[in-house]
Structure 1
């Protein structure tokens, strides 16, 4: 089985692919990186919208490391990045080493890819894995609670689930609030303002089987939408991005880092990505760590903090 460290090594070595299904049983995280003067707005946006923006870690300014994956480098260990200039996609580099700055703060946000193995273990099929596609993601008509300069719509991911297993899917994912938790909607896409489910705003169209119903979870692409809305292109600006949920046609996962340095507008850096985060093998010192209870929200006595883990093993 591919370990998180193995997965990161493959991405660092040039593998470009959606991270869904990689290192099953371990937590995956989205990544948002922005200048320190935007960090409070992002922290407040996550606190006010915990279901789409479940914060797992926030780094010190300039740091390229996270306690969630000791040894990982946030500049290189993602499948792909995207660079935006003047509001337009300009490049999709394999790393962002040359673009990193001392004032950048990284936010790691729980990702729904983390609970896909738990669904499979409970007998719930995951159609995007069966079809070797990314999940379908949509902007909705539900607004997030604003926070400073950040506001925007809730973005959701959709997985077709057999009607008889919807309750099971809800029960399984509800136990994992730090990776989006229970669905926000089941059934009619029109209720969320989704006009054409066959044309997702992000990711790939995933085909339903007879008897399936669409089930929608809050999605970590939500802060990407908020940050892009908050930082319209103007003047001389550059942006680096690598969002994890990019369409397959663009090469798989992507993270978005938007940088705007044209005075007098405030600098705005947005990095939104999905990447498998290694669960450290060395014990309980990290915010995401091993624990004998599977898929549980627990308190780690040595770390002294509450933890949410996609765990393998049994109680």
Structure 2
């Protein structure tokens, strides 16, 4: 994980210095965000995709104007004046025409005046609440990255974004813990909320046949009696980009799964976060 940060500002500074990687458990109490950056011509379609799919793509914030990497609206999301969306995630992914090209520690040399950044809620945001309830996620215990899978849940289309499917993250729990897990995560609507499926039958319903082979992140350790519990995941926009393919004109940037932005929003701000206000 690298150096540990206790505040959102510390976390962003460590990312900028390339001293932070996996952000699970970093800066407890602060909401974390996934990233998608698009050319401005496609921003409206992607914004509508988020509004039509709020569980998988809960919108926390976006660029105040095209080409501005320093200012996010609403302003309470990121309050530091030195913020830079091009450096303040630990790792980035670059896409062209829907295909993954390469990974980067920053996107300073790739950013254009046409780019618009979107911040999408992340389930890492409720993990400290799970830990406080005696339900610490397994990937934190093993210092690994949460497992993520392509599911068969279709996204409602918006403009050029058609044919996309939802990514889900998975954390193992015992069946008798699931009601409590649902209760703890339910209020976090802006960061995916409660699980979308659980149990081995739930995995099959999502089209996941082998939980030991995640599409992103690391395979998780299952203890005796554990079953998989699945949440919608903010890597979903990257799958929407892949499905859009060459309908996207220009470079697209995203975060590396498991490597998030720590925002200045806190759990206490959850009731204020309404994506349809953006």
Q: Normalising by structure 1, what TM-score? A: 0.77
Name which of 101, 108, 112 aligns with 2:112. Answer: 101
Alignment of 1:49-128 (within 5 A): 49-59=53-63, 60-64=65-69, 65-66=71-72, 67=75, 68-71=77-80, 72-84=83-95, 89-128=100-139
Do 1:180 and 1:218's aligned partners in 2 also have CA atoms closer than 8 Å?
yes
Q: How many pairs align?
A: 260
Q: CA deviation at 1:85?
A: 5.5
CA distance in 1, matches of 2:98, 2:116: 21
> What's the CA shift for 1:138?
0.6
In the TM superposition, residue 295 of structure 1 has moved relative to its aligned partner by 5.1
Which residue matches 1:176? 188
- Whole-Å separation in 2 of the counterparts to 1:114 and 1:31: 15
2:39, 2:250 within 8 Å by CA — same for their partners in 1?
no
Q: CA deviation at 1:21?
A: 1.0
- What CA distance in whole angstroms lies between the structure 1 residues aligned with 2:53 and 2:195? 15
Whether contact under 8 Å (2:38, 2:116) holds in the other structure is yes
1-side partners of 2:186 and 2:49: how far apart?
A: 22
Q: SS where residue 27 of structure 1 aligns?
A: strand
Instruction: Write out per-residue CA displacement over residues 245-290 of structure 1, whole angstroms, 9 at most, x where no aligned residue.
Output: 16xxxxxx3xxxxxxxxxxxxxxxxxxxx2222x2xxxxxxxx35x
Distance in 2 (CA, whole Å) between partners of 1:211 and 1:87 is 40
Q: Which residue of 2 aligns with 1:244?
A: 256
Q: Alpha carbons of 1:141 and 1:84: their partners in 2 closer, same or farther (altered >3 Å)?
A: closer
1:213-292 map, 5 Å: 213-232=227-246, 239=251, 241-245=253-257, 253=259, 274-277=260-263, 279=264, 288=265
Deviations 1:99-118 (A, max 9, x none): 11111111111100000000
- CA distance in 2 between counterparts of 1:162 and 1:122 reads 14
Between 77-86 and 210-219, the greater mean CA deviation after superposition: 77-86
Report the equivalent of 1:302.
none
Contiguous gaps of at least 5 residues in structure 2: none
Larger relative contact order (Cα-Cα within 8 Å, sequence gap ≥ 6): 2
Distance in 2 between the 1:243 and 1:106 partners? 11
Instruction: Measure how far apart 1:239 and its partner are.
Output: 4.0
Query: 2:37·2:253 contact (CA, 8 Å) conserved in 1?
Result: no
Shift of 1:93: 2.5
How far the C-alpha of 1:297 sits from its partner, in A, is 4.0
CA displacement, residues 77-129 of structure 1 (integer Å, 9 cap, x when unaligned): 11112334576654433211121111111111110000000001111131010
Contact 1:81–1:240 (CA under 8 A) maintained in structure 2: no
C-alpha distance 88-54 of structure 1, shift in aligned 2 (>3 A): closer
Query: Which structure: larger Rg?
Result: 1
Within 1, Cα distance between the matches of 2:118 and 2:253?
A: 14
Cα RMSD over matched residues?
2.2
User: Aligned partners of 2:103, 2:166: CA distance in 1, in Å?
Assistant: 26
CA distance in structure 1 between the aligned counterparts of 2:145 and 2:7, rounded to whole angstroms: 20
Name the one with the larger helix percent.
Answer: 2
